[in-house]
Structure 1
Amino acid sequence: MMLSRNMLVQVLWAHLLCGWTFGSELTFELPDNAKQCFYEDITIGTKCTLEFQVVTGGHYDVDCHLEDADGTVLYKEMKKQYDSFTFTAAKNGTHKFCFSNEFSTFTHKTVYFDFQVGEDPPLFPNENRVTALTQMESACVSIHEALKSVIDYQTHFRLREAQGRSRAEDLNTRVAFWSIGEAFILLVVSISQVILLRSFFSDRKTTTTRVGS
Protein backbone atom coordinates (compact mmCIF):
# COMPACT_ATOMS: atom_id res chain seq x y z
CA MET A 1 0.00 0.00 0.00
CA MET A 2 2.81 2.38 0.90
CA LEU A 3 4.66 1.48 -2.32
CA SER A 4 1.65 2.23 -4.49
CA ARG A 5 1.16 5.54 -2.71
CA ASN A 6 4.78 6.53 -3.35
CA MET A 7 4.52 5.59 -7.00
CA LEU A 8 1.32 7.61 -7.38
CA VAL A 9 3.02 10.65 -5.84
CA GLN A 10 5.96 10.11 -8.20
CA VAL A 11 3.61 10.06 -11.19
CA LEU A 12 1.87 13.27 -10.12
CA TRP A 13 5.16 15.04 -9.47
CA ALA A 14 6.63 13.94 -12.79
CA HIS A 15 3.49 15.11 -14.57
CA LEU A 16 3.71 18.53 -12.97
CA LEU A 17 7.38 18.86 -13.83
CA CYS A 18 6.74 17.93 -17.43
CA GLY A 19 4.00 20.51 -17.77
CA TRP A 20 6.13 23.22 -16.16
CA THR A 21 9.54 22.55 -17.72
CA PHE A 22 8.82 21.39 -21.24
CA GLY A 23 5.98 23.65 -22.28
CA SER A 24 4.72 27.21 -22.36
CA GLU A 25 1.00 27.88 -22.03
CA LEU A 26 -0.40 31.40 -22.05
CA THR A 27 -3.54 33.41 -22.71
CA PHE A 28 -2.83 37.03 -23.69
CA GLU A 29 -4.56 40.14 -25.00
CA LEU A 30 -3.89 41.20 -28.61
CA PRO A 31 -4.87 44.87 -29.15
CA ASP A 32 -6.28 46.33 -32.36
CA ASN A 33 -3.87 46.25 -35.32
CA ALA A 34 -1.07 44.95 -33.07
CA LYS A 35 1.62 42.28 -33.18
CA GLN A 36 2.80 40.13 -30.28
CA CYS A 37 5.89 37.89 -30.52
CA PHE A 38 7.30 35.20 -28.25
CA TYR A 39 10.74 33.61 -28.22
CA GLU A 40 12.02 30.16 -27.25
CA ASP A 41 15.56 28.72 -27.25
CA ILE A 42 15.49 25.31 -28.94
CA THR A 43 18.29 22.84 -29.59
CA ILE A 44 18.65 20.97 -32.86
CA GLY A 45 16.63 17.79 -33.21
CA THR A 46 14.03 18.81 -30.63
CA LYS A 47 10.42 18.06 -31.52
CA CYS A 48 8.08 20.99 -30.85
CA THR A 49 4.36 21.62 -31.16
CA LEU A 50 2.60 24.99 -31.39
CA GLU A 51 -1.14 25.08 -30.78
CA PHE A 52 -3.25 28.24 -30.62
CA GLN A 53 -6.88 29.34 -30.51
CA VAL A 54 -8.67 32.70 -30.53
CA VAL A 55 -10.93 32.92 -27.50
CA THR A 56 -12.63 36.30 -28.01
CA GLY A 57 -12.67 39.17 -30.48
CA GLY A 58 -13.71 39.91 -34.06
CA HIS A 59 -14.38 36.88 -36.20
CA TYR A 60 -12.24 34.77 -33.86
CA ASP A 61 -9.35 34.78 -36.34
CA VAL A 62 -5.68 35.71 -36.05
CA ASP A 63 -2.52 35.68 -38.16
CA CYS A 64 0.35 33.49 -36.96
CA HIS A 65 3.84 32.76 -38.21
CA LEU A 66 6.82 30.84 -36.84
CA GLU A 67 10.50 31.45 -37.68
CA ASP A 68 13.67 29.57 -36.82
CA ALA A 69 16.94 31.04 -35.56
CA ASP A 70 17.96 32.23 -39.07
CA GLY A 71 14.62 33.86 -39.82
CA THR A 72 13.36 31.06 -42.08
CA VAL A 73 9.57 30.87 -41.97
CA LEU A 74 8.50 27.43 -40.80
CA TYR A 75 4.79 28.14 -40.46
CA LYS A 76 2.57 30.99 -41.64
CA GLU A 77 -1.20 31.12 -41.65
CA MET A 78 -3.67 33.99 -41.96
CA LYS A 79 -7.15 34.34 -40.47
CA LYS A 80 -7.04 31.13 -38.47
CA GLN A 81 -9.39 30.51 -35.57
CA TYR A 82 -7.31 27.63 -34.23
CA ASP A 83 -4.51 25.41 -35.48
CA SER A 84 -1.73 23.06 -34.43
CA PHE A 85 1.74 22.73 -35.99
CA THR A 86 4.45 20.20 -35.16
CA PHE A 87 8.06 20.48 -36.32
CA THR A 88 11.58 19.30 -35.48
CA ALA A 89 14.19 22.01 -34.98
CA ALA A 90 16.86 21.85 -37.69
CA LYS A 91 19.10 24.46 -36.07
CA ASN A 92 20.14 25.62 -32.63
CA GLY A 93 19.01 29.06 -31.56
CA THR A 94 16.08 31.24 -30.62
CA HIS A 95 12.87 30.52 -32.48
CA LYS A 96 10.18 33.20 -32.77
CA PHE A 97 6.44 32.92 -33.24
CA CYS A 98 4.14 35.92 -33.58
CA PHE A 99 0.42 36.69 -33.60
CA SER A 100 -1.01 39.75 -35.34
CA ASN A 101 -4.12 41.37 -36.84
CA GLU A 102 -2.40 42.28 -40.09
CA PHE A 103 -4.85 40.46 -42.37
CA SER A 104 -7.56 39.43 -39.91
CA THR A 105 -10.17 41.69 -38.31
CA PHE A 106 -8.78 44.76 -36.53
CA THR A 107 -10.36 44.16 -33.15
CA HIS A 108 -9.18 43.49 -29.62
CA LYS A 109 -8.72 39.75 -29.16
CA THR A 110 -7.84 37.17 -26.54
CA VAL A 111 -5.52 34.45 -27.83
CA TYR A 112 -4.47 31.20 -26.18
CA PHE A 113 -1.39 29.24 -27.21
CA ASP A 114 0.45 26.15 -25.99
CA PHE A 115 4.05 25.68 -27.13
CA GLN A 116 5.48 22.28 -26.25
CA VAL A 117 9.25 21.82 -26.58
CA GLY A 118 10.63 18.28 -26.50
CA GLU A 119 8.99 15.10 -25.34
CA ASP A 120 8.16 13.93 -21.86
CA PRO A 121 11.04 12.25 -20.02
CA PRO A 122 10.60 8.59 -19.09
CA LEU A 123 8.48 8.08 -16.03
CA PHE A 124 11.05 5.70 -14.52
CA PRO A 125 14.47 6.97 -15.67
CA ASN A 126 16.41 4.45 -13.58
CA GLU A 127 14.54 1.40 -14.69
CA ASN A 128 16.15 -1.30 -16.83
CA ARG A 129 14.68 -0.92 -20.30
CA VAL A 130 15.65 -4.49 -21.19
CA THR A 131 13.10 -5.97 -18.82
CA ALA A 132 9.37 -5.44 -19.12
CA LEU A 133 7.51 -3.10 -16.81
CA THR A 134 5.93 -4.53 -13.72
CA GLN A 135 2.19 -4.38 -13.21
CA MET A 136 2.54 -1.44 -10.83
CA GLU A 137 4.81 0.45 -13.22
CA SER A 138 2.41 -0.15 -16.09
CA ALA A 139 -0.42 1.19 -13.94
CA CYS A 140 1.62 4.30 -13.16
CA VAL A 141 2.32 4.88 -16.84
CA SER A 142 -1.39 4.51 -17.63
CA ILE A 143 -2.29 6.99 -14.87
CA HIS A 144 0.33 9.40 -16.20
CA GLU A 145 -1.09 9.28 -19.73
CA ALA A 146 -4.65 9.59 -18.42
CA LEU A 147 -3.73 12.70 -16.42
CA LYS A 148 -2.20 14.28 -19.52
CA SER A 149 -5.37 13.60 -21.48
CA VAL A 150 -7.54 15.00 -18.69
CA ILE A 151 -5.54 18.24 -18.56
CA ASP A 152 -5.72 18.59 -22.34
CA TYR A 153 -9.49 18.01 -22.39
CA GLN A 154 -10.03 20.44 -19.52
CA THR A 155 -8.05 23.13 -21.32
CA HIS A 156 -10.06 22.79 -24.52
CA PHE A 157 -13.37 22.66 -22.65
CA ARG A 158 -12.47 25.83 -20.75
CA LEU A 159 -11.52 27.60 -23.97
CA ARG A 160 -14.76 26.52 -25.59
CA GLU A 161 -16.73 27.67 -22.54
CA ALA A 162 -14.96 31.05 -22.56
CA GLN A 163 -15.64 31.46 -26.27
CA GLY A 164 -19.31 30.58 -25.83
CA ARG A 165 -19.65 32.95 -22.89
CA SER A 166 -18.08 35.77 -24.92
CA ARG A 167 -20.49 35.19 -27.79
CA ALA A 168 -23.45 35.07 -25.41
CA GLU A 169 -22.43 38.34 -23.75
CA ASP A 170 -21.95 40.01 -27.13
CA LEU A 171 -25.36 38.79 -28.28
CA ASN A 172 -26.94 39.96 -25.02
CA THR A 173 -25.44 43.44 -25.51
CA ARG A 174 -26.76 43.66 -29.07
CA VAL A 175 -30.24 42.51 -28.02
CA ALA A 176 -30.26 45.08 -25.20
CA PHE A 177 -29.36 47.96 -27.55
CA TRP A 178 -31.89 46.75 -30.12
CA SER A 179 -34.59 46.62 -27.46
CA ILE A 180 -33.77 50.15 -26.31
CA GLY A 181 -33.97 51.35 -29.92
CA GLU A 182 -37.32 49.64 -30.46
CA ALA A 183 -38.69 51.13 -27.23
CA PHE A 184 -37.60 54.61 -28.32
CA ILE A 185 -39.17 54.19 -31.75
CA LEU A 186 -42.40 52.89 -30.18
CA LEU A 187 -42.50 55.90 -27.86
CA VAL A 188 -42.01 58.35 -30.74
CA VAL A 189 -44.69 56.64 -32.84
CA SER A 190 -47.15 56.64 -29.92
CA ILE A 191 -46.63 60.35 -29.24
CA SER A 192 -46.98 61.12 -32.95
CA GLN A 193 -50.27 59.22 -33.13
CA VAL A 194 -51.65 61.07 -30.12
CA ILE A 195 -50.71 64.44 -31.60
CA LEU A 196 -52.20 63.48 -34.95
CA LEU A 197 -55.49 62.32 -33.41
CA ARG A 198 -55.77 65.48 -31.33
CA SER A 199 -55.34 67.55 -34.45
CA PHE A 200 -58.39 65.83 -35.98
CA PHE A 201 -60.70 66.64 -33.05
CA SER A 202 -59.45 70.07 -32.09
CA ASP A 203 -61.96 72.98 -32.30
CA ARG A 204 -61.39 75.25 -35.23
CA LYS A 205 -62.15 78.91 -34.90
CA THR A 206 -64.53 80.09 -37.55
CA THR A 207 -64.81 83.68 -38.60
CA THR A 208 -68.20 85.14 -39.63
CA THR A 209 -68.67 88.17 -41.77
CA ARG A 210 -71.68 90.40 -41.19
CA VAL A 211 -72.94 91.99 -44.33
CA GLY A 212 -74.44 95.40 -43.71
CA SER A 213 -77.72 96.38 -45.27
Structure 2
Amino acid sequence: MEGMGRRRCGWWRQVLLIVGMWLVLARRAQGIRFVIDKKECFQHEVPFDGDHVRVSYVVIKSESSWSFEHTPVGLDLIVEGPAGHQVHSSKALVEDKFDFTAARKGLYKFCFFNRNSMHETVDFDVHVGYHILNADEEHVKDEHIEPLMMQIESLEESLYSIQFEQHWLLAQTDQQEIVNKAMSRRVVYKAMLEALALMGCSVLQVVLLRRLFEKKLGQSRV
Protein backbone atom coordinates (compact mmCIF):
# COMPACT_ATOMS: atom_id res chain seq x y z
CA MET A 1 0.00 0.00 0.00
CA GLU A 2 2.81 2.38 0.85
CA GLY A 3 4.45 1.69 -2.54
CA MET A 4 1.18 2.33 -4.36
CA GLY A 5 0.76 5.61 -2.46
CA ARG A 6 4.22 6.74 -3.49
CA ARG A 7 3.60 5.83 -7.14
CA ARG A 8 0.27 7.68 -7.07
CA CYS A 9 1.93 10.75 -5.55
CA GLY A 10 4.68 10.63 -8.16
CA TRP A 11 2.08 10.37 -10.93
CA TRP A 12 0.24 13.44 -9.60
CA ARG A 13 3.49 15.39 -9.43
CA GLN A 14 4.23 14.58 -13.07
CA VAL A 15 0.72 15.65 -14.12
CA LEU A 16 0.99 18.93 -12.22
CA LEU A 17 4.42 19.62 -13.68
CA ILE A 18 3.17 19.02 -17.25
CA VAL A 19 0.09 21.20 -16.70
CA GLY A 20 2.19 23.94 -15.13
CA MET A 21 4.67 23.94 -17.99
CA TRP A 22 1.82 24.05 -20.52
CA LEU A 23 0.31 27.07 -18.77
CA VAL A 24 3.68 28.82 -18.73
CA LEU A 25 4.25 28.29 -22.45
CA ALA A 26 0.66 29.06 -23.43
CA ARG A 27 0.46 32.38 -21.56
CA ARG A 28 3.24 34.44 -23.06
CA ALA A 29 3.93 38.03 -22.11
CA GLN A 30 2.43 40.36 -24.68
CA GLY A 31 3.48 43.90 -25.50
CA ILE A 32 1.77 46.45 -27.69
CA ARG A 33 3.02 48.79 -30.39
CA PHE A 34 1.11 52.00 -31.03
CA VAL A 35 1.42 55.44 -32.63
CA ILE A 36 1.05 58.44 -30.33
CA ASP A 37 0.05 61.94 -31.37
CA LYS A 38 -0.12 63.94 -28.13
CA LYS A 39 -1.29 61.60 -25.35
CA GLU A 40 -2.05 57.90 -24.95
CA CYS A 41 -3.11 56.13 -21.73
CA PHE A 42 -3.36 52.44 -20.88
CA GLN A 43 -4.59 50.56 -17.82
CA HIS A 44 -3.28 47.30 -16.41
CA GLU A 45 -4.75 45.19 -13.61
CA VAL A 46 -2.56 44.26 -10.64
CA PRO A 47 -4.34 41.37 -8.89
CA PHE A 48 -2.59 41.37 -5.49
CA ASP A 49 -1.04 43.77 -3.01
CA GLY A 50 2.75 43.67 -3.17
CA ASP A 51 2.96 42.34 -6.73
CA HIS A 52 6.09 43.16 -8.69
CA VAL A 53 5.42 45.21 -11.85
CA ARG A 54 7.96 45.51 -14.66
CA VAL A 55 7.58 48.13 -17.40
CA SER A 56 9.53 48.88 -20.57
CA TYR A 57 9.04 51.07 -23.62
CA VAL A 58 11.07 52.01 -26.68
CA VAL A 59 10.33 54.81 -29.15
CA ILE A 60 10.83 52.94 -32.41
CA LYS A 61 10.63 55.88 -34.82
CA SER A 62 9.29 59.39 -35.40
CA GLU A 63 7.02 60.17 -38.33
CA SER A 64 8.07 63.53 -39.78
CA SER A 65 7.11 65.32 -42.97
CA TRP A 66 10.39 64.14 -44.50
CA SER A 67 10.21 60.46 -45.42
CA PHE A 68 13.87 59.88 -44.57
CA GLU A 69 13.69 61.47 -41.12
CA HIS A 70 12.87 58.71 -38.62
CA THR A 71 15.14 59.55 -35.69
CA PRO A 72 13.15 58.81 -32.49
CA VAL A 73 12.40 61.60 -30.02
CA GLY A 74 11.82 61.11 -26.29
CA LEU A 75 8.45 60.82 -24.53
CA ASP A 76 7.18 61.51 -21.02
CA LEU A 77 5.55 58.71 -19.01
CA ILE A 78 3.52 58.98 -15.81
CA VAL A 79 2.36 55.89 -13.89
CA GLU A 80 -0.52 56.30 -11.43
CA GLY A 81 -1.85 53.84 -8.86
CA PRO A 82 -5.49 52.89 -8.17
CA ALA A 83 -5.94 55.88 -5.85
CA GLY A 84 -4.56 58.31 -8.44
CA HIS A 85 -1.18 58.77 -6.75
CA GLN A 86 1.95 58.94 -8.91
CA VAL A 87 4.10 55.81 -8.81
CA HIS A 88 6.72 56.62 -11.46
CA SER A 89 7.58 59.28 -14.03
CA SER A 90 10.00 59.50 -16.97
CA LYS A 91 10.90 62.68 -18.83
CA ALA A 92 11.91 62.97 -22.50
CA LEU A 93 13.32 59.44 -22.79
CA VAL A 94 13.61 57.48 -26.03
CA GLU A 95 13.60 54.22 -24.05
CA ASP A 96 13.17 53.21 -20.44
CA LYS A 97 12.89 50.06 -18.34
CA PHE A 98 11.94 50.06 -14.67
CA ASP A 99 10.05 48.11 -12.02
CA PHE A 100 8.12 48.85 -8.86
CA THR A 101 6.20 47.06 -6.13
CA ALA A 102 2.46 47.68 -6.20
CA ALA A 103 1.42 48.79 -2.73
CA ARG A 104 -2.23 48.17 -3.56
CA LYS A 105 -4.02 45.93 -6.02
CA GLY A 106 -6.23 47.45 -8.72
CA LEU A 107 -5.95 49.29 -12.03
CA TYR A 108 -2.67 51.07 -12.70
CA LYS A 109 -2.66 53.81 -15.32
CA PHE A 110 0.21 54.41 -17.76
CA CYS A 111 0.04 57.72 -19.67
CA PHE A 112 2.46 58.72 -22.43
CA PHE A 113 2.88 62.37 -23.44
CA ASN A 114 4.36 63.48 -26.75
CA ARG A 115 5.57 67.08 -26.64
CA ASN A 116 6.81 67.00 -30.23
CA SER A 117 4.97 67.84 -33.43
CA MET A 118 5.76 64.42 -34.92
CA HIS A 119 3.90 61.15 -34.43
CA GLU A 120 5.90 58.56 -32.48
CA THR A 121 5.75 54.77 -32.84
CA VAL A 122 6.15 53.21 -29.38
CA ASP A 123 6.68 49.62 -28.24
CA PHE A 124 5.23 49.21 -24.72
CA ASP A 125 5.31 46.19 -22.40
CA VAL A 126 4.01 45.57 -18.86
CA HIS A 127 4.48 42.41 -16.84
CA VAL A 128 2.96 41.78 -13.41
CA GLY A 129 4.74 39.12 -11.40
CA TYR A 130 2.53 36.43 -9.95
CA HIS A 131 1.82 36.58 -6.25
CA ILE A 132 3.56 33.42 -5.06
CA LEU A 133 2.10 32.18 -1.80
CA ASN A 134 4.44 30.76 0.79
CA ALA A 135 3.78 28.28 3.55
CA ASP A 136 2.85 31.02 6.04
CA GLU A 137 0.17 32.50 3.75
CA GLU A 138 -1.62 29.35 2.63
CA HIS A 139 -1.36 25.81 3.90
CA VAL A 140 -1.66 23.00 1.38
CA LYS A 141 -2.69 19.69 2.85
CA ASP A 142 -0.61 17.54 0.52
CA GLU A 143 3.01 18.12 1.54
CA HIS A 144 4.22 16.75 -1.81
CA ILE A 145 2.07 19.06 -3.97
CA GLU A 146 2.90 22.28 -2.13
CA PRO A 147 6.64 22.46 -2.97
CA LEU A 148 5.92 21.35 -6.54
CA MET A 149 3.41 24.15 -7.06
CA MET A 150 5.89 26.63 -5.61
CA GLN A 151 8.51 25.42 -8.09
CA ILE A 152 6.07 25.71 -11.01
CA GLU A 153 5.13 29.27 -10.05
CA SER A 154 8.79 30.24 -9.65
CA LEU A 155 9.60 28.71 -13.03
CA GLU A 156 6.68 30.56 -14.63
CA GLU A 157 7.89 33.87 -13.20
CA SER A 158 11.43 33.19 -14.46
CA LEU A 159 10.18 32.44 -17.98
CA TYR A 160 8.06 35.60 -17.99
CA SER A 161 11.14 37.60 -16.98
CA ILE A 162 13.08 36.11 -19.90
CA GLN A 163 10.25 36.94 -22.32
CA PHE A 164 10.12 40.49 -20.91
CA GLU A 165 13.84 40.98 -21.58
CA GLN A 166 13.51 39.45 -25.07
CA HIS A 167 10.69 41.84 -25.93
CA TRP A 168 12.82 44.78 -24.73
CA LEU A 169 15.80 43.68 -26.84
CA LEU A 170 13.65 43.10 -29.94
CA ALA A 171 12.15 46.58 -29.63
CA GLN A 172 15.64 48.08 -29.36
CA THR A 173 16.74 46.09 -32.41
CA ASP A 174 13.78 47.38 -34.44
CA GLN A 175 14.57 50.93 -33.34
CA GLN A 176 18.23 50.64 -34.35
CA GLU A 177 17.33 49.08 -37.71
CA ILE A 178 15.01 51.97 -38.55
CA VAL A 179 17.63 54.52 -37.46
CA ASN A 180 20.29 52.83 -39.61
CA LYS A 181 18.00 52.81 -42.64
CA ALA A 182 17.17 56.47 -42.09
CA MET A 183 20.87 57.33 -41.86
CA SER A 184 21.56 55.42 -45.08
CA ARG A 185 18.80 57.30 -46.86
CA ARG A 186 20.14 60.61 -45.56
CA VAL A 187 23.60 59.76 -46.90
CA VAL A 188 22.11 58.94 -50.32
CA TYR A 189 20.04 62.14 -50.39
CA LYS A 190 23.04 64.18 -49.30
CA ALA A 191 25.17 62.68 -52.08
CA MET A 192 22.41 63.41 -54.62
CA LEU A 193 22.12 67.03 -53.44
CA GLU A 194 25.88 67.46 -53.62
CA ALA A 195 25.92 66.04 -57.15
CA LEU A 196 23.09 68.37 -58.22
CA ALA A 197 24.88 71.33 -56.65
CA LEU A 198 28.09 70.42 -58.48
CA MET A 199 26.21 70.11 -61.78
CA GLY A 200 24.55 73.47 -61.16
CA CYS A 201 27.91 75.11 -60.48
CA SER A 202 29.35 73.58 -63.64
CA VAL A 203 26.45 74.82 -65.78
CA LEU A 204 26.74 78.28 -64.21
CA GLN A 205 30.47 78.39 -64.94
CA VAL A 206 29.86 77.43 -68.59
CA VAL A 207 27.21 80.16 -68.96
CA LEU A 208 29.43 82.80 -67.35
CA LEU A 209 32.45 81.83 -69.48
CA ARG A 210 30.36 81.93 -72.65
CA ARG A 211 29.06 85.40 -71.81
CA LEU A 212 32.58 86.54 -71.01
CA PHE A 213 33.91 85.28 -74.37
CA GLU A 214 30.98 86.83 -76.25
CA LYS A 215 31.58 90.16 -74.51
CA LYS A 216 35.31 90.12 -75.34
CA LEU A 217 34.58 89.09 -78.92
CA GLY A 218 32.15 92.00 -79.31
CA GLN A 219 34.68 94.47 -77.92
CA SER A 220 37.42 93.21 -80.28
CA ARG A 221 35.16 93.70 -83.31
CA VAL A 222 34.48 97.30 -82.34
Question: TM-score w.r.t. structure 1 length?
Answer: 0.70
Q: 1:184 to 1:29 in 2, by over 3 A?
A: same
Whole-Å separation in 1 of the counterparts to 2:207 and 2:166: 61
Q: 1:173 to 1:83 in 2, by over 3 A?
A: same
Q: 1:18 to 1:76 in 2, by over 3 A?
A: same
The residue type equivalent to 2:199 in the other structure is L
Whole-Å separation in 1 of the counterparts to 2:22 and 2:170: 24
Q: 1:98 to 1:149 in 2, by over 3 A?
A: closer
Q: Secondary structure at the match of 2:221?
A: coil
Unpaired stretches in structure 1, ≥5 consecutive residues: 208-213
Q: 1:69 to 1:120 in 2, by over 3 A?
A: closer
Whole-Å separation in 1 of the counterparts to 2:102 and 2:170: 29
Number of the residue aligned with 2:54 = 49
Whole-Å separation in 2 of the counterparts to 1:191 and 1:87: 69
1:61 aligns with 2:74: yes
Q: 1:186 to 1:6 in 2, by over 3 A?
A: farther
Question: TM-score w.r.t. structure 2 length?
Answer: 0.68
Query: Deviation digits for residues 58-88 of structure 1, max 9, x if unmatched?
Result: 5442100011222111112211221213122
Note the C-alpha offset of 1:110.
1.6
1:107 aligns with 2:118: yes
Number of the residue aligned with 1:119 = 130
Pairwise CA RMSD: 3.6
Query: Deviation digits for residues 11-49 of structure 1, max 9, x if unmatched?
Result: 5422134436xxx52121112xx1000112334514122
Report the number of matched residues.
191
- Structure 2 residue corresponding to 1:16, chosen from 25, 40, 52: 25
Structure 1 residues 59-98: aligned runs within 5 Å: 59-80=72-93, 81-90=95-104, 92-98=105-111
Q: Does the aligned pair in 1 maintain the 2:32–2:123 contact within 8 Å?
A: yes
Q: Does the aligned pair in 2 maintain the 1:54–1:82 contact within 8 Å?
A: no
Q: Could you say which structure has the higher helix fraction?
A: 2
Number of the residue aligned with 2:178 = 166
The residue type equivalent to 2:61 in the other structure is T
Number of the residue aligned with 2:7 = none
Unpaired stretches in structure 2, ≥5 consecutive residues: 1-10, 63-70, 134-139
Of 111-120 and 189-198, more deviation after overlay is shown by 111-120
- Structure 2 residue corresponding to 1:192, chosen from 204, 217, 221: 204
Number of the residue aligned with 1:151 = 163
Whole-Å separation in 1 of the counterparts to 2:194 and 2:143: 75
Note the C-alpha offset of 1:130.
8.2
The residue type equivalent to 2:75 in the other structure is V
Number of the residue aligned with 1:26 = 32
Q: Secondary structure at the match of 2:118?
A: coil
Whole-Å separation in 2 of the counterparts to 1:120 and 1:75: 21
Q: Does the aligned pair in 1 maintain the 2:72–2:120 contact within 8 Å?
A: no
Q: Does the aligned pair in 2 maintain the 1:61–1:79 contact within 8 Å?
A: yes
Query: Deviation digits for residues 191-210 of structure 1, max 9, x if unmatched?
Result: 11212332343332633xxx
Q: Secondary structure at the match of 1:89?
A: coil
Whole-Å separation in 2 of the counterparts to 1:98 and 1:190: 55
The residue type equivalent to 1:156 in the other structure is W
Mark the structure with the bigger radius of gyration: 1
